[in-house]
Amino acid sequence: MNYHIKASSISNQDAVVHIKESHIDFGITSKSAETLPNPAELFLGSFASCILKNVERFSGMMKFAYSKATIEVSATRLENPPRMEISFTI
């Protein structure tokens, strides 16, 4: 399966990711640090979305029912080498 997204930004302004018919604003400036998700938060949100998608998919394949699935993802940005240390609870 192939995927395609488009993202754009204007100098000294925030950015947007264009995926299908969705437009997701995200912050890349200090002005929006408290109001818009930053790129790391979008990454962690994508990770959580993948896990929840698999819960849905495997519930049908493995014939189990669920009424709700929740995931909490935490991460710490480390510098040398640059990386994210991620932990999650389902």
Give tens-digit pLDDT for 22-75: 999 999 999 999 999 999 999 999 999 999 999 999 999 999 999 999 999 999
Q: So what's the pLDDT on residue 71?
A: 96
- 30 and 46 co-located in one domain: no
- 11 and 43 co-located in one domain: no
Write down the pTM of the prediction. Answer: 0.83
- 49 and 89 co-located in one domain: yes
Q: So what's the pLDDT on residue 33?
A: 92
Number of domains in the chain: 2
CA 53 to chain centre: 13
- 32 and 74 co-located in one domain: no
Dihedral through CA 66, CA 68, CA 72, CA 73, nearest 10? 60
Structural domain boundaries enclosing 8: 1-36
